[in-house]
Structure 1
Amino acid sequence: DGLAERLGVGERQLRRLFRQHLGAAPVSVAQTRRVLLAKALIHDSDLSMAEVALASGFGSVRRFNETFQALYGRPPSALRRREARADSEGVRMRLPFRPPYDFDDLLARLKARGDAVEGRRWWRDLTPETDAATGWVAVERGVGSSSGDGLSVVVALDDLKALPGVLARVRRVFDLSADPEAITRDLSADPVLKPLVEARPGLRLAGDWIDAGETAPSDRLPDDFTPSLLRRAERWRPWRAYALAHLAAAGVRLETLETRHDQAA
């Protein structure tokens, strides 16, 4: 009910959209997200099972245990790796991405806009007003054979119930949901963009910690776009923001692009 209200749609329409695009009801999707977060915390942190249940959004430890027993035929504690050890800094876990991923380029752009970056580590203070908890979060590129294609995240906070929201914001800032294969395939239909995206498929967008935009970040354009550029940008959907990022990275001026479009027309 709360999600439908925030999105400004009816509950029936929301259920229909979930079925159409995800093949499952909103409740099932939310349950899957809770289970996946709980599994990550069980594997990568030293939190107790009660703390994992709280941090991953289960209403009670009993419901947490029953869900894992039903899905995996064993209690959640049986999934914990023996090598898991305590991290005195906070909850440490890995957030995956689809490679390639140009972490250093994204980190440089985050630093340029004023984010706190020390070496190859990004961090941010957490506040009750923004994050429903007090603490901090730090992100760096995962290293070692066990890290795989992911970022290493450490979160220290005074209320574990706020953890899912913090992790969602980290994913947005570091653009972890991007699909570089789809972006490269779709933007390559534009002859100007084709060599740019093929040369730098790991380029990512620097997301905002608090995102209040109505348009998806991947498809946003500046307000001052001319009608001519808007017409050309229609072919870039739903990756218009990535198209602009590639043009900027290659030093291509939009005025030049507009001239090419007018000549082609």
Structure 2
Amino acid sequence: MSHLKLVSVKETTVSKSGINRFSWIFQRANRGTDADTHVRFQPESMTGMVYSRFMRLDPDTCYDALLSRNRRFDGWFFVGVATTGVYCRPVCPVKPPKAQNCSYYPTAAAAEKAGFRPCMRCRPELAPGHGLLDLSGNLADATATLIEDGFLNEHSVDALARRVGVTERHLRRIFAAQFGVSPVEFAQTHRLLMAKRLLTDTALPVAVVASTAGFGSVRRFNDLFRQRYGLNPLRLRKGSGASADGDMTFPLPYRPPFAWADLMRFLAQRQIGGVERIDAQGYARVVELPNRNDGSRLTGWLSVAHVPQRFALAVTVSPALTPVVPAVLARVRRLFDLDSRPDVIDAHLGALASGSPGLRVPGAFDGLEIALRAIAGERLAAAHAGAVLARIAERFGTKVEGAPPGLTHAPPSAVTLAALPPAALEELGITRETARAILSLARAVTDGMLALEPMAPLDATLAALRAMPGFDERAVQYVAMRAMAWPNAFPADDALLPARGEHIEHIEHIERSRMPSSSPHASRWAPWRAYAALHVWRLQGDVLR
């Protein structure tokens, strides 16, 4: 019988909270016969571990995953096939190649550097990404995330190195060691795969595709596409049913299971009227993002539906957002926690997770929005806090035209809020103390003193929030969980949790008491305490923040 054994290797960086950063290393452990070739995780080996993008690619283990089309490995490695010259996801539907014809790569960029082209059947550009830990503790992961968000479309590698706080030489060295390519090669592959996605899923003109994907010129895009993939970009258009001037729909796969109903319930309890709409069809919201091409701000809308039979979400984006499609899709992935590894997390949480396998931690489409909710939630229940944010959006946000029913305004930017006097917010029924907290937050973001995003330095950001008015520790942890995508945040300090060590799986039937984040329960859930908090809230049915 074939198994995967997970062994932790401690990295050099240790957080101030005392939680070690780890990398997953996959090793082969043969037990019994070889009759069962399914790839499995051993839950007992997961305790106390977290994961990053790095994994040691053992050929036997990877080939087992390929044979079983195990979706838990989708996006964690790519398979180069010598006989066809293409590289695939481990879930590719075509007949598996022979083992001797396979080679394995940690990223699509590494596979393309080795001379392989992306498979047209499984489409490597659709593979789920890698779950986020504290990106400030892993420079290579933080760098890759910045590149995927388009940083190198506008800045140099030297600027990228300064952003993560190291020299350019050191950045190149650690990045190549982890991903097998340079930052520029990684960015180039990311642009090409985004262009491939736009060519396949939309009918946008090639010039628009090139610009949206981050290429400076159509000629450069065409030349590189032909050189790397061996075909004219327009060949991908055959059979496409996309409309040239209509809405665009993109599939975003995930690793199952996915507790869609519980996630929708969480978001529905906290929706901001006019900005968001959650109903039986799914999730929809108004979007306003900066256009990097000319500095303007683009306003449009998106909707998200669950397609469980394809293990994916279908994201529809309005035409007005075409220039920022890559940013929109990246934010949707974070909002719905699509890069999560539910098999690893659920096994670690044990019985707590058994009632809702694959529960995701809802992220943030905009970090400021989550921080404002945390401030409003200090004194109000979730629904009332959402109503306050809806009034702010209606008064100071940008109106959107042609959106689906129920969507009317984009939330105001930090710049807009920072310029307001406290009285402008007090007119909406907001207390003077809360108004001043909101304005203080907006000014810190506008001045560049605070970045509410996963790539921001965790300890420094949390310290800055603690020093600001309107943030107690629960609010700080809530922002860390949703805006900064920190999986070990624990905002459930105000949740009523079992006292004296009762079994958490029976939480809905026993006496509750308040429990601080330093309690034994919270500690044993590390490094996935954010997921534990969501399960606790789910079991209690409480609507908090």
Fold equivalence (TM over 0.5): yes
1:168 corresponds to:
330
Aligned to 2:535: 246
Match of 1:184 in 2: 346
The equivalences for 1:98-137 within 5 A come to: 98-114=255-271, 115-128=276-289, 132-137=297-302
Q: Which amino acid in 2 is paired with 1:247?
A: V
Query: Residue 36 of structure 1 aligns with which residue?
Result: 193
Asked if the contact 2:204/2:244 (under 8 Å) is kept, the reply is no
TM-score, normalised by the number of residues in structure 1: 0.78
CA-CA distance at 1:67 after TM superposition:
2.1
Matched position secondary structure for 2:242: coil
Aligned to 2:508: none
Q: 1:10 to 1:110 in 2, by over 3 A?
A: farther
What is the correspondence of 1:1-265 to structure 2 with a 5 Å cutoff? 1-86=158-243, 89-114=246-271, 115-128=276-289, 132-142=297-307, 148-158=310-320, 160-185=322-347, 187=348, 193-211=349-367, 212-213=452-453, 214=458, 216-222=485-491, 226=516, 228-229=518-519, 233-251=522-540
| Per-residue deviation, 1:169 | 0.9
Q: Deviations over 1:125-181 (max 9, x none)?
A: 1224699422111111137x7xx2211111124363322111111111111111112
Identical pairs, percent:
39
CA RMSD, 1 decimal = 2.9
Q: 8 Å contact 2:200–2:236 — kept in the other structure?
A: yes
Query: In 2, distance between residues paired with 1:142 and 1:227?
Result: 36
1:115-134 Cα shifts (integer Å, max 9, x gaps) = 42233221221224699422
Amino acid at match of 2:518: S
Whole-angstrom CA distance in 2 between matches of 1:140 and 1:23: 35
Closer/same/farther in 2, CA of residues 128 and 194 from structure 1, 3 Å limit: closer
Q: Is the 8 A contact 1:123 1:137 kept in 2?
A: yes
How many residues align structurally? 243
Contact 1:117 1:123 in 2 (8 A): yes
Q: 2: distance between equivalents of 1:111 and 1:104?
A: 10
Take 2:231 and 2:321, find their aligned partners in 1: how far apart are those partners? Answer: 28
Distance 1:140-1:16 versus aligned 2 partners, 3 A rule: same
Q: Contact between 2:256 and 2:342, CA under 8 Å: does it hold in 1?
A: yes
User: Unaligned regions of 5+ residues in structure 2, if any?
Assistant: 1-157, 368-451, 459-483, 494-514
TM-score, reference length from structure 2: 0.41
**What is the deviation of 1:89?**
4.0
Mind listing any 5+ residue stretches in structure 1 that lack a counterpart?
188-192, 254-265
- AA aligned to 2:202 is S
Query: Could you list the per-position Cα deviations for residues 10-64 of structure 1 after superposition, in whole angstroms to 9, with x for gaps in the alignment?
Result: 3334333423433332222222222222222222112122221122112221122
